[in-house]
Structure 1
């Protein structure tokens, strides 16, 4: 059986077991997920809730490899872009569901100064260090610390990032905890401690298509709401300029539900031209919060699936899959094209270490990092 047929059979078997899951208990199932080209073994943990929502977590990149959810008629589909096997995440690298760190998004020139000392990070874009550099957290194999089921299914993964990793100071101990309950709420908690002052900004980079990954319609017909009256414009390297601009009435206004494709080709907006669409950080009205609050709401009118993203962070990066160019094949052999999936990444603002007006990304001994975010799946009738 070839790889794509095997993947299809596995998904079918995975979906079929939903009815067998206990109605009053979530479960966590651990299994092999293949190996990397160098022979490193990769595992996955499938979290199963009673209402038909399932999340598969892969140890490579602490990745949300799949999120399955029923539509209004009970039909289950995987709503995240990705690959069917671990090796493809290495041979065709991208940011499809991985945990991002040490620093999500872009740092200009890969340079920043902390406590009067300058640091140079690895560059994986011409003018920036993106998503942690050439070998960020997304490319590491994480350790499974614990997993259990019950009222909620949970897996905890850990990673040690040594001092000097990608140019960052301090030894960082990072943990990611995925928890799925029976209501279809997937909570992701990011925690990090450091033995020296450093910067940390962690998030998840899932790309969503609520019609089902690989669907012919893509995600441009989804309706999006972002409770943010302002966003941070970027330069031609997609680095924030430092300006904070109102969204009111323009292409970036998602304060009320709006179809994503409505203004994504609006060439009269220079920010749409620079980003090839949407690839911008929104300044959430709620700011930094102790408990997760709404950062975005995504709805697919055709299937009825709804995704709410909640977070404790002050920003959310909205990326509309602008750089998906049809050269990569994902799950079940699907060719991913521009707009086939979107990312909603809660975060500290991009380039914050170089822009004090944005706040602080500092972590130090006795001052740990914590970010709690939620993917809440439901349906409308």
Structure 2
């Protein structure tokens, strides 16, 4: 493990002592390194002279800083380096030679221009775990494509599944494949670190958004490759399960789910239509899915008499899955109401920023929230001084 450049007071995390040189930007890489930083890894965020693109992605902002940037860059220190400057490049190479993990998402081949590709770094740091995130892989055809989540949502087929059946295709409300690729990169990094622990050898971990997307399409991708069909838009409906969608109530809508026969029988009791559970047309999930056009209106009629909150209370009392269609603030408030404590304060005093808690918990080691998202080159001087000092 590399020596920490600065020990901040916090409970020991499972990745304490791990040094990560983060040459990534925008979302997939920074999200991955934030997750790792939360568990104690020392993440040095290497930015160009103008900083990470997301610093300018606004609105919204908090105290003049993009909330997009703030959401994925806590627990890191920033150094600004112009890799075209010989002195800054030497600093970057020294950092790479000391890192346990290097992560980057330049266009394939971009890091090689600076001798910071896997082979270049491995020459002085044979134990490095080197993670590369691209949009479409490293073949000549894939490498020529820019890697933006919206492109991948379209090209992968996700957008063909999203939206009203009679309307246009829609993107998901977040950059879902950037996040997914970031999680896949995190899994790859931790797996390679375990391999290094056993063998002493580093290796190159490669992730691309399109492969992450096709893996993340799960049942829909399986329908295409194993079933030979072309999935299509169904609005909020599920192709293989019914009911599994929002249905209207007296004042809005509630998500209604019956994942098995027992849940369907309970749902029918709660809705006051127990006879539907005995109807041969709806005896199994296959029957209910095949006859959704007959079952759907019956459920809608039963739901029409009461509000979403009233139905949700009854669902919860009987352990039925389902719930309201919330706004994001309402979703945060619900998590708070059930004791999940979804928001943490990161930083001290005037720098304190509300942030969404890391979703992973351990029995013995926990996430820590040590640093507010850094200003551009905020820690440049201390990092340069540390890199100039003799190694332990």
Q: Same fold (TM over 0.5)?
A: no
- The TM-score with structure 2 as length reference comes to 0.22
Structure index of larger Rg = 2
- The TM-score with structure 1 as length reference comes to 0.22
Q: Which has more helix, going by share of residues?
A: 2
Q: Which has more strand, going by share of residues?
A: 1
